[in-house]
Amino acid sequence: MLSLVPNPAPNSSFASSEMVDSSKVHLHEAYCKRNRIKCEICQKFYDKEEEEEHAELNEKVECEFCKKDFMNDQFETHQMICD
């Protein structure tokens, strides 16, 4: 029987929001310790192989209408409401 559990250490430096098969929690933790990085800017976790892509999400973009700065990943949503 498959039993899913949340990440057992949500406040750790390798935390994951994934649900994990309870029989594989230790494998999941080991993977996260080796491969996941917590972003110092946005506090989200990402795979270290995706560092460049993640860095692009944290780049600031200025809205031409309100002149406020937004992170790339938030800018598209902002544009829909600001004109």
Band (70; pLDDT cuts 50, 70, 90): very high
pLDDT at 5: 54
Q: Say which residue the tokens 């506090």 belong to.
A: 43
Q: Specify the pLDDT at position 23.
A: 86
What residue spans of 1-83 are helical by DSSP H? Answer: 25-35, 51-57, 72-81
> Within 10 A of 20 (CB to CB), how many other CB atoms are there?
19
Q: Report yes or no: 16 and 32 within 8 Å, Cβ to Cβ.
A: yes
pLDDT, position 73: 86
Per residue in 5-41, pLDDT tens? 555 555 454 556 677 788 888 898 898 889 999 999 9
Residue 34: per-residue pLDDT:
92
Closest among 55, 57, 5 to 29, alpha carbons compared: 5
- Written as six digits, the tokens of 56 are 């692009």
